[in-house]
Amino acid sequence: VLVTQPLFQNPTGATLAPARRPEILAIARAAGAFVVEDDFARRLVHDDAGPLPAPLAADDPDGTVVHVCSLTKVTSPSLRVGALAARGPVLERLRAIQVVDSFFVPRPLQEAALELVGSPSWGRHLAAVATELRHRRTALATALGGELPELALPHLPAGGGSLWLRLPGGGADESALVSAALRASVAIAPGRPYFCAEPPAGHVRLSFAAVSGAAEIAEGVRRLRTAFDGLLGG
């Protein structure tokens, strides 16, 4: 099984290059493997992203890809409703496992989800999220560029809720920065758990989605600057 996030990967925000899409499907087919496409960020697109690539599952006529998505991030942490799309024998197997494991999604949640996505305001909600995410991403990238130019931003994502930053070589150590940030009341995620092997450099993931607004982002970056200076003894 290959688990992949072709669109706005967490944590980098990267999107799979068009040429790699058929390559992945061909390798999976040749190996008799399944591809689990975690499409969790499709509805976290920013409003300056341009047209999105279709899910990998759209190019898969024979049931190699299992497509997974969810309403949770774009609505509420308590709306735990997701969707799984598969075809062929894998669908039958997954259906059987799901009946055993979870029986069904609670009926009130199903009704709430249906009412939400069927309501005339659903499109407006998605558009508002896309605009707000772009504002917050821009606020964070701008604040970092001004206050913390030492942290490199290799890719400005057009979707998702975080930025992935590389720490300067020979400078502050990643876990020390995460701890110093926490002492300054800023929660950032260390990069190391995202690597299977030894990371090429220290990284941190900064989330901008769950904040009250641009002012909180600016304040968070100021505190991160202080934490960073403390580590460097500056």
Ligand X SMILES: Cc1ncc(COP(=O)(O)O)c(C=O)c1O
Q: Are 24 and 35 in contact (CB under 8 A)?
A: yes
Closest separation in Å from C-beta 141 to ligand X: 20
> Nearer to ligand X by C-beta: 36 or 176?
36
Closest separation in Å from C-beta 126 to ligand X: 14
- Using CB under 6 A, pick the residue from 21, 52, 72, 91 that binds ligand X: 72
Pairing of strands 189-190, 162-166: unpaired
> Nearer to ligand X by C-beta: 20 or 80?
80
Segment holding 99, helix H or strand E = helix 89-101
207 binds ligand X (CB under 6 A): no
Cα–Cα distance measured from residue 6 to residue 111, given in angstroms and rounded to the nearest whole number: 30
Burial bucket for residue 166 (CB in 10 Å: 0-12, 13-18, 19+):
middle
Binding mask 31-70 for ligand X (x = CB under 6 A): -------x-x-----------------------------x
> Nearer to ligand X by C-beta: 72 or 226?
72
Segment holding 4, helix H or strand E = strand 2-4
Give the footprint of ligand X on residues 74-93 (CB under 6 A).
Answer: 82
